[in-house]
Amino acid sequence: MTCFIEGKFDAVVVGAGHAGCEAALALARTGQKTAMLTLNLDSIAFMACNPSIGGTAKGHLVREIDALGGEMGVNADKAMLQLRMLNRGKGAAVQSLRGQEDKNLYHRLMKQTLENTPNLSIIQGEASEILVENGAVKGVRTAYDSVLEAKAVILATGVYLSGSVIAGEWKRESGPSGFAPANELTKSLIDLGFTVRRFKTGTPARIDGRSIDFSVLEIQNGETDIYPFSYMTRHVKKKQMPCYLTYTNERTHEIIRANLHRSPLYAGMIKGIGPRYCPSIEDKVVRFADKDRHQLFLEPEGADTHEVYVQGMSTSLPHEVQQEMYHTIKGLEHCKIMRYAYAIEYDAIDSLDLFPTLEFKKVKNLYTAGQINGTSGYEEAAAQGLIAGLNASLALRGKDPVVLRRDQAYIGVLIDDLVTKGTNEPYRMMTSRAEHRIILRQDNADFRLSAIGRESGLVDDKRWEKHLKRLKEYEKAQKELNQRKTPKEANAFIAAHGGGELKGAISYADMIRRNIPIKEIRDAFGAFRGISADILETAETDAKYAGYLERGLEQIARAKKLEDKALPADIDYMSISGLRIEARQKLNKIRPQNLGQAARISGVNPADIAVLMVYLKK
């Protein structure tokens, strides 16, 4: 077969999952001639697992992607079947949006967006080799032996690299949901110097909703009085579809325990490392043997299908065992399985091989994003895709990269964890990973990040005008929060909320700190007129947690002193005698860009940082 040049581009994105979509859009929208190479156009933005967007900490990522000019939040709002705010009973820092999505509609809308984006070409084909010359990427060779020439390449291969699907004793080379795997690219990555590992994930069965007895199940309705994912969406859909709650039971667990010898996970067929925070049902039954039941959520896959996703029952047990155990569950006694559950193994790289820009350390302008970096989840993938695509674009334009700090965004926490600490299992974003989570709330993502998106060229005029309008509203709310009411004006109101007689004037902010809702203050005194509900909520949260926010900002200022102390790229850590051997080895491998990053490396202690500070002074 004769090799031919299929096209010449500024950048090529390999993969069209959630990481690939954001990367391609970031590049094309910032003026780069971009090609998206995907195994199958029908798998663009495909939801291989749960048809949902958001969740604990993941909702934060979606709002941050949106604030930077990404597409996931916009698309999720359009394809939404149901929206809820998780952790309502907890503090504002951990409250997260979660949307049930119409799986097929989400794919169609994203494909339509990509097709209608200037500077972007979509090509169906399989990448087989990354072409490199003089230490810099120069293009991608396909399995057909054609070449896409490019100055930058972003690898967003998801779970397709050497993918294997497993259920019971059955195993087949495959991508998710029957899509073809990518079997040729791994060798090229190894040849380039990537460290490749084997990871594993899984998915539950999809059952026919017409065979479920919903009348005996606990219904979970959506919410309409909350803000959507995207700052560009005017309001949440009023018409939403319900989800339902049911549970496993002791009979379910007996069937699982009796068939553990047929589980690929326990029989040794699965070699890949799975996600600790999203275990299979057989893993839950073994690890939590004291629990007599586990929650299952029945969630619609779309408005145009009867398929229902059984969240919480991921498994790789044989099909006949799946049938038996599903039939033990309340409401599912006569359910019909449309798609059986399975586990999937795939190749991933060691994220310690990357710079904080997500560029590969050994090849200039070669970036990776998403599950190839060892993460799990659509939201984590999309966040990395946006940053990788944006940084590739900035590099091509001769501009400084975007590297978000841990105190700026959950995206900063995610990427810093990957490139500084690494991960030995599929990484999932959680609020507990963010040390500044009271500052990194999902309600204020645009205040934190829209200016960065604007400066990088990704936030367009329409989005920027919306941001400035919101900022003006917020500043107005802040001024009104400091307005004070005399005892004569406020005594009765304060008394009605359980307070004593005032001795002096009180501000609206102080009222909020007495746990009086801002909406009641507004109604009682005619304040905050013309300020939207979501801005009012942000202002209320900032007033309520003012003390914590102030202390958090002080901690950030102290930590930033270390972040500002850059470490030269050519330091030979092995020659610094005051460092412990472990620290030398870790520093030499990771090559931190500053003292702050060095201090977060596992195996580098405060004494090592002190040695580095002395070294820098010399």
500-554 tens-digit pLDDT: 999 999 999 999 999 999 999 999 999 999 999 999 999 999 999 999 999 999 8
How crowded is residue 286: how many other Cβ atoms within 10 Å of its Cβ?
17
CA distance 521 to 555: 32
- Residue 275's pLDDT band, with cuts at 50, 70 and 90, is confident
Q: Which of 27, 47, 4 is nearest to 159 (CA)?
A: 47
**How far apart are the C-alpha atoms of 288 and 294, rounded to whole Å?**
10
Give residue 308's Cα distance to chain centre: 23
202 φ, ψ (degrees, to nearest 5):
-160, 175
**Angstrom distance (rounded) from CA 55 to CA 203:** 17
140 phi, psi to nearest 5 deg: -130, 135
- Rounded to whole angstroms, how far apart are CA atoms 120 and 412? 27
Which structure tokens are listed for 46?
């495909």
> Which residues, 6 or more positions from 523, have their beta carbon under 8 angstroms from its beta carbon?
none
Q: Cβ distance 579 to 608 under 8 Å? A: yes
Quickly state the pLDDT bin for 1 (edges 50, 70, 90): very low
pLDDT at position 558: 86
Residue, of 268 and 608, whose pLDDT is higher? 608
State how far the Cα of 22 lies from the Cα of 198, in Å rounded to an integer.
25
Query: Measuring CA to CA, which residue among 75, 70, 76 is closest to residue 55?
Result: 76
- Spell out the domains of the chain, with CATH numbers in brackets: 4-157+353-456 (3.50.50.60), 206-342 (2.40.30.260), 474-554 (1.10.10.1800), 565-617 (1.10.150.570)
Is the model's pLDDT at 336 over the cut of 60?
A: yes
Q: In the chain, what is the straight-line distance between the N-terminal and C-terminal CA atoms, in Å?
A: 59
**What is the pTM (predicted TM-score) of this model?**
0.95
**pLDDT (0 to 100) of residue 40:** 97
Residue 565: CB atoms within 10 Å = 15
Residues 608 and 106: their CA atoms lie apart, in Å, by 49
The whole-number average pLDDT for the span 423-429 is 94
Mean pLDDT for the chain overall: 95
CB-based burial, 513-525: b 16+ in 10 Å, e otherwise: eeebebeebbebb
Count CA atoms within 13 Å of residue 306 on its CB side: 10
Q: For residue 341, give the DSSP letter.
A: -
Question: What percent of the chain has a predicted confidence (pLDDT) above 70?
Answer: 100
Amino acid at 581: I
| Exposure string for 193-218, b = 16+ CB within 10 A, e = fewer | ebebbebbbbbbbbbebebbeeeebe
How many angstroms separate the CA atoms of 534 and 451, rounded? Answer: 19
Cα separation, 143 vs 125, whole angstroms: 7
- Gap between the Cα atoms of 71 and 231, Å rounded: 11
3-class state of residue 40 by DSSP: coil
Query: Would the pLDDT of 284 be above 70?
Result: yes
Pairing of strands 366-368, 295-300: unpaired
Average pLDDT on 79-104 reads 96
**How much is the pLDDT for 2?**
55
Q: From residue 212, how far is each of 35, 323, 496, 523 by CA, in Å?
A: 44, 14, 49, 46
Please determine, for residue 462, whether its predicted confidence score (pLDDT) is greater than 50.
yes
Tell me the mean pLDDT in the region 195-202: 94
* 3-class state of residue 337 by DSSP: strand
* Residue range 34-58, pLDDT digits in tens: 999 999 999 999 999 999 999 999 9
Q: Where are the extended beta strands (E) located within 323-387?
A: 337-339, 342-349, 366-368
How far apart CA 284 and CA 210 sit, in angstroms, is 28
pLDDT at residue 279, rounded to an integer: 85
* Rounded Cα gap, residues 337 and 308, in angstroms: 9
Sequence-distant (≥ 6) Cβ neighbours of residue 391 within 8 angstroms: 357, 358, 359, 367, 401, 402
Q: What is the mean pLDDT of residues 91-106?
A: 96
Residues 332, 185: Cα–Cα separation, whole Å: 42
Instruction: Measure the CA dihedral 54/59/63/65, to 10°.
Output: -60
Dihedral in degrees, nearest 10, Cα atoms 22, 24, 27, 33:
-170
pLDDT higher than 50, residue 396:
yes
Question: Across residues 412-440, what is the average pLDDT?
Answer: 95
> Of 291, 311, 309, whose CA–CA distance to 300 is shortest?
309
- Say if residues 26 and 393 touch (Cβ distance below 8 Å): yes
Do the strands 342-349 and 206-208 form a parallel or antiparallel pair, or are they unpaired? unpaired
Confidence band of 561 (pLDDT split at 50, 70, 90): confident
Q: What percent of the chain is predicted at pLDDT more than 90?
A: 91
Per-residue pLDDT of 295-323, as tens digits, reads 999 999 999 999 999 999 999 999 999 99
CA distance readout (Å), 2 to 38, 144, 243, 354: 22, 9, 54, 35
